[in-house]
Amino acid sequence: MIQGVWVNINQLLHFLVVADECRSATEVVEELEKLVAAYGFDYYGLVRQPKPDENPLELVLCGRWPEGWPQIYIAKKYVLIDPTIRYLSQAQSGFRWRDTAHAFRADPHRKRMERMLMDGMRFGLLDGYIFPVHGRTGLLGNMTVGGKPIDLSPIEISLFDAVAKKAFWRLLELTREGDVDSAKAIDARMTRREMEVLSYLADGLTSNEISKILKISNHTVDWYMNGIQDKLNAKNRQHVVALAFRLGLVT
C-alpha cells in the first residue's frame, strides 16, 4: 500500500518536471491525462476563472467530462449554486468535493445543491477534488479531477495543487495567454451597507422590500445597487448576483 502511494507520488513529481520540457500545449495535456488516468480519475478539467464579459464555455483549457453533463450543468445554471465553486472562492489549497456539502448545510440553496449532486452522480461524478490556482489579482482558475471516489493522502493533495498550477501556467504560456494575471481585477471591496443590500438582493428581494427592511428609501437602495454593479463591472442585477456567488461575497 505504501509502495503504491510512492509510485503515484513519483508520477506527480514526474509531471512537474516534464511539463517544463513540453514544447506544445498538446504535449502538456497528454502528460496531464496520463497522470489523471494513472490515479484512476475518470474525468478532469482545467479552466480559467470567468470575468464578467467572458463566455464560460471558452475558458476550458483542457478536460474530459461525461457526455451531456456540461450541457445539463449550464442549462440548469448550477454554476450559481455549485458548492465546490462557491467554496473555491475562499480556499487556499485543494479540497474534496464531498467536504463542501457540510460547509453549506444551512444554505437557502441547499436543496438545489443536493439536486445538482444527484444529477452529477447519475453521470458518474460520485466524488473528486478541486485545486485553486491563484495569482496577484486573486483566483485565476482551477483544476478538477473526479469520477469514482478515490482517497488522496495529504502529500498527494499538496502535489496535485502544484500540478494544477504548473499545468495552468504552462498551457497559458504555450497558448500565449500568459497575461491573464495582469487583467483588471474586479473591485470586490464592499461597505457594510453594500453587503447588506447585496445579501438581500441575492435572496431575491426587490428594492422596495429591501428598503423596508433597512428603513431607507427606494432611491437609496438603488443608489447602493448602482455602486455594487459598478464595482463588479456587472451588466445588470442578475449579473451582480451571479458574480457575488462566484466571488464568495454571498453564500
pLDDT per position as a tens digit, 72-125? 988 888 888 899 988 988 888 999 999 997 888 888 888 999 999 999 999 999
Q: How confident is the model at residue 185 (pLDDT cuts 50, 70, 90)?
A: very low
How far apart are the two ends of the chain, measured CA to CA in Å? 40
Distance CA 58, CA 53 (A): 11
Q: Which amino acid is at 236?
A: N
Residue with cell 497522470: 35
Does an H or E element contain 241, and which? helix 237-246
Residue 126's closest CA among 160, 89, 151? 151
Question: Structure pTM?
Answer: 0.69
